[in-house]
Amino acid sequence: MNKSTQKHSNRENLLDTGVALLMQQGYHGTGLKEILDAVQIPKGSFYNYFASKEEFGAAVIGHYIQPFIDQLDGHLQNPDLDALTALNRYFAELIAELEKAEFKGGCLLGNLMGEIGDTSERCRLALQLAVNRYRDLLQAGLATAQQQGTVRTDKSAQAMADLLANTWQGALLRMKIEQSSTPLKQCCEDLLGDFFKA
């Protein structure tokens, strides 16, 4: 493996490990030494990849959201599904994954918003960008559903996407304390299955 490939691999391993540890222990509960030990990278080498723990946290946030964006986009790009069905299938998949994980972790974005959203400007901006990217894709799906006649048009796709993203985050927090997928299912049924429908 050449140096640039190895460096990319090390960076990906650091980010993957960061997602797992920050999900389990939070930002303040996770030390750099713990991350480096897990990936087997010497402490001095960390700074070849990230200038600080804060920069690392911001990178972890972007790394975490990308698979969700890819998963949602995959459903929305499926030519066999209308947009509303695609959105429903996407959220049903997420709920099944959370049930399988026995409701552990929830959403790293929501966890970090509560922990460092107002104390780290670098991470706050990364969280804002991640949430906006996700919301924009939900908005695109809802706009397509409006064009297809399955979603109401008296409310903007952006307003509905904001409501869906906000309600989903709240439902994830309720899920954690109730140890149940009921709040998540209620969110989808009440919005995608009722309030948003044409």
The position carrying tokens 């026995």 is 102
Let me know if residue 28 belongs to a domain: no
- Is 189 in contact with 195 (CB distance < 8 Å)? no
Q: What is the dihedral of CA 94, 99, 100, 102, to 10 degrees?
A: 130
First-to-last CA distance in the chain? 54
**Can you tell me the distance from the alpha carbon of 69 to that of 192, in angstroms, rounded to the nearest whole number?**
18
For 91, the domain range is 53-195
Determine, yes or no, domain membership for 90. Answer: yes
> What is the CATH number for 133?
1.10.357.10
Global pTM value: 0.91
For residues 131 and 120, is the Cβ–Cβ distance under 8 A? no
In the chain, how many domains are there? 1
DSSP string, 80-120: TS-HHHHHHHHHHHHHHHHHHTTT-S--HHHHHHHHHTTT-
Q: Considering the domain boundaries, does residue 40 fall inside one?
A: no
pLDDT (tens, 9 = 90+) of the chain, 198 residues, equals 566 676 668 899 999 999 999 999 999 999 988 999 999 888 888 888 999 999 999 999 999 999 999 999 999 999 999 999 999 999 999 999 999 999 988 899 999 999 999 999 999 999 999 999 999 999 999 999 999 999 999 999 999 999 999 999 999 999 999 999 999 999 999 999 999 999
